Chain A
Amino acid sequence: MELINRYLQAVKFWLPKNQKQDIIAELAEDLRSQIEDREAELGRKLNESEVADLLKQRGRPVLVANRYRPQQHLIGPVLFPIYLFVLEVVAAFYLLPWILVWITVAIFRPVHPGQSLIATIGSFWTSFWPMAFLHGRKHHHRIRDSRESSGQVQVYGAVGPAQTAAGPRSQPDTAFHLGHGVDCEHSVLQLVAVVGRRALVPDAHSLGRCNRHPGADLAVLLLGLFAAWSGEHSGFCSQCFPSLLDIGASRVSPLVRWRRFRDLLADEGQHCSGDQCRKRRSGKNRSGRTRDQLVGGKIVSLGGRCLRTHRPEQRVSDHPRSVQ
């Protein structure tokens, strides 16, 4: 009986709060009835291993409890094609430039070749996940009903973003400078951004404006989130999807505010004091409050305070990895 109680407690842990007692009472009754029936058949009491077998037949507590939960989908079948489309577009405009950047970094990085290679492989893996996702999806379609393949898709889908999330802070800095403040990585991304923007932004606009379907809203929200997040790390998406960022801004306003706050902290002490920016600082809206300004997808002013960053020449040349 102790075994049954432990099993029921384990199931109870996973059940919805408001139904725990009721469901457990019913399950307990069903188990006891089944045991009594079995004992009547055998003409003796069940031993512990037989009870354990009976419980094993019922399945893992978490799975048993899961059947009592309402069916919930993070992305339902209706939204999934849009979600997938968004992922594919993002992957297509994200993977290739990063491969090029990392190959370039591997060739030109002025450190020990071994260290450079390891760092590059590590960094490359960070950008590898979109390709892994696409591969996983292809595999998933080929053997649609195989549990193994869907497991692979999940692994591909989960490992990559986790790496990406952890990567930008833990991996070695792969950006390097060619002198005169030209950030090579950023330049390549800007080049790709021009192409990517032309291809993607009209679609994003049509999703945001014309479609009243909730799926379209979610797709724009996801893109907005990605753009905000990615802009945080590389500046790439803030170049690539400025309009998208605008569309999603109202929906991801807490994130955008956080981003502004980060910008403020990061740029502290590097504010422009030129005449042009003074004019911007004095800009006020109709209610008399100073306004934030968004130029080229970047916030240059927060509450009338200039946030535009200038890179003095000497700062760049002082950089230890600069190529003179």
Chain B
Amino acid sequence: MTQSINNGNDSLLENLRLELRRGCLVLAVLAELRNEQYGYTLRKGLAERGLEVDEGTLYPLLRRLETQGLLASEWREEDKRNKRFYKISRDGKLVLKQLLAEWQAIGQSLEGILKESGHGAH
């Protein structure tokens, strides 16, 4: 019984965690692509900074952002292999700036809320 409750909590926590990360991921990808990169190096770069993303999430996201005009991409040969390089577009830079402002505002608000309720983030 307790185990099933724990399992339920685990899956609930996992869902909430994914939901929380989903929004941050767009921000991270846009920020990371201020320097041109191809998919695999982007994924590695994010993982090294503690934000692991599987390719099944990253590549569709890159395509979606490109469709929305926030990224630009081109196929280019590197090390005798064709690779698709992504870079943030002018619109993307504008959106990133606004998103970062929003992110900081949310962070400050949340910090205030947590301090008031005695759950200060360490």
Residues in chain A within 8 A of chain B (CB atoms): 23, 25-27, 29-30, 32-34, 37, 58-59, 63-64, 67-68, 143, 145-146
Interface of A is mostly: helix
Contact string, B1-25, partner A, CB cutoff 8 A, digits 1/0?
0000000100110010000000000
A63→B38 CA distance, assembly (Å): 23
A25→B74 CA distance, assembly (Å): 13
Is the beta-carbon distance between A30 and B12 smaller than 8 angstroms? no
Residues in chain B within 8 A of chain A (CB atoms): 8, 11-12, 15, 38-40, 43-44, 54-57, 59-60, 63, 75, 81-84
B46 CB to nearest chain A CB (Å): 14
Evaluate whether A59 and B39 lie within 8 angstroms (CB atoms) in the complex, with A29-B81, A32-B81, A68-B63 already known.
no
Residues of A within 8 A of B39 (CB): 26, 29-30
- 8 A-B pairs with the lowest CB-CB distances in the bound complex, closest first: A33-B40, A67-B60, A67-B56, A30-B40, A26-B84, A68-B60, A145-B11, A30-B39
**What residue in chain B is nearest A23 (Cβ atoms)?**
B59
B65 CB to nearest chain A CB (Å): 14
A94 CB to nearest chain B CB (Å): 35
Is the beta-carbon distance between A26 and B56 smaller than 8 angstroms? no
B59 CB to nearest chain A CB (Å): 6
B53 CB to nearest chain A CB (Å): 12
A30→B56 CA distance, assembly (Å): 11
**Which among B8, B12, B56, B83 has the greatest number of chain A C-beta atoms within 10 A?**
B56
Is the beta-carbon distance between A145 and B40 smaller than 8 angstroms? no
A179→B75 CA distance, assembly (Å): 80
**What residue in chain B is nearest A19 (Cβ atoms)?**
B63
